[in-house]
Structure formats: C-alpha cells, structure tokens
Structure 1
Amino acid sequence: MPNIASALKDEITRLARKELRASTDTLKKAVATYRSEIAALKRRVDQLERQQKRTTKVVARAVPAEQPRDDGQLRWRASGFAQHRKRLGLSAHEAGTLLGVSPLTVYKWESGQARPRAQYLPAIAQFRSLGKREAARRLEELAA
C-alpha cells in the first residue's frame, strides 16, 4: 500500500498538469490564430506592393516626366498655377477667359491630368505676372 505522502504528491502533480494544459491550450490556439493573421497580412502587403509598382509604371507612361530646361524656356508646375489663380481670387472660368481656354482645360491643368501646350506657355507666364487689380481690369476689358 502506497504511503499517503506519495499518493498526495501524485494527485497534486496530476491536477497541476491538468490546469497547465487547460491554460496553455487557449494560448496555443491564440498563437495559431495570430500566425495565420500575420501570414495573411504579409500576403496582402506583397499584393499591394506589386499593385503599387504596376500603377507607378502606368502613371510614368501616361504622364511624361518634366524635363529640366536650362535654356530659358518656360516651365510648368500645376500646383503653382493653381495657387496663383486662387491668390488672384479667380474662378477657373475667369482664368480660362484670360488665357483663351475653357474652364475644363484649367481644371485639367491644375489637377495634372493634362499639360498646357507650348503655345499657351507664354500666356501662362504673363498670367503668372498679373496682380489682382490687373487681372480684374483685363477681365473687364474682355467682358466689354
């Protein structure tokens, strides 16, 4: 017959293992879930990076890169044009009237969807040199 101390020790060990197994099973399940989520996120990141590379290539082909010019030719920057128009307090329609183009053309220039043709660059350079009063005066002249 086993002695009471060894029986008590065996029972305590069995119960401790049972409790540890119960607590570690939930942790094992959580770890497995986290690993699968991490793997899914890695796949998603890879997919988005590939998509971004394809989009960059398409945009690079669609909009030609601006070439630096050192020979005194006129330069174009869509954001600068939009800022100046807003600084003058002009609508796209009014700016288009001053430049001899449609308001839609002005919007496309400002959004970067299109670049002005070379024939409009001198007019745009002159537009960039206008102040508020001069722009208002020219608009009145064109309206009359």
Structure 2
Amino acid sequence: MSLQPGDALASHNFGLQIDGVMVEYLQEVNGLTMEQDVIEYQQVSANGKPTVKKMPGVKKAGQVTVVRGMTQSASFSQWINESVAGNMAMARKNASIIMMDYMNNPVKRYNLRNAWCSKVEASTVKAGDASALTESVTIVFEELVIE
C-alpha cells in the first residue's frame, strides 16, 4: 500500500461495485451513514446512587446518493429499472463503496447489504450549456458493514 503512517485517503479515489462488478463513471458519493438507536437505562447502584447507562440499540437501515455521468451502462440502468418497477427479487443487490489509495489499491470498503435504488434524478439540461449530464441515484440499504 502506498499510504504511509499518518497519510489520509484522497477523496477522488473511490469506486462502486454492484454484486462484485465495478460501476464506471461515478462522480460523487454522499450521505453514507451508519446509525443505531441508543438505549438509556437508569438504575440505582449498590450504594443507593442513581446511575445512567447507555447501551446500543437496533441498527438502522440507511441510504446513500451517488452521482454518475449519464452513460449507456445497461447493467446500472437495469438495476434502477428493476428497483422502480418493484421487482425486489432482482433489485436487491449487495453493493460496495471502495476507497482506494494513490496506487488504486482498495483500502476501505463500505458494504451495503440488500441495496436497491429508490430515486433517480437527471441533471438539468439547457440549450447552449457545455456541461456533462449526470444522474443522481439514491440507494437504500438494509445494513452497512465497514471493512
């Protein structure tokens, strides 16, 4: 690995895999979070003083938004269409957001279990504009596992 102690990963070096297949032309990933409930438990200690304990509760499902260049990627478009059509047997997939070092070696993975697309938004099109068209895709998932 090309990272030395104290080096941080660069934000421009990442990828998205869906069922082990790398998706090309990914521009941005945002909103990736892991959250769980916190249970507050109050009790009286052996010496009669009230104490408060916090314990982990249920993990919550989450969502992430990816922005990609509008391409003719048939597999990604098919995944979106299966999700929107409600064909959950085909739509639920395992996806991974992979952070890479300067040599494009995977360093950290965010594995999204049972992920599917819940929203697609195309960028604004405007006559005379000279910018690339993008799609923002919201991916919901049932579990996030960090490796």
* TM bucket, shorter chain: under 0.3
- Structure having greater relative contact order (Cα 8 Å, sep ≥ 6): 2
TM-score under structure 1 normalisation?
0.18
Greater helix fraction, Structure 1 or Structure 2: 1
Greater strand fraction, Structure 1 or Structure 2: 2
Higher-Rg member (1/2): 1
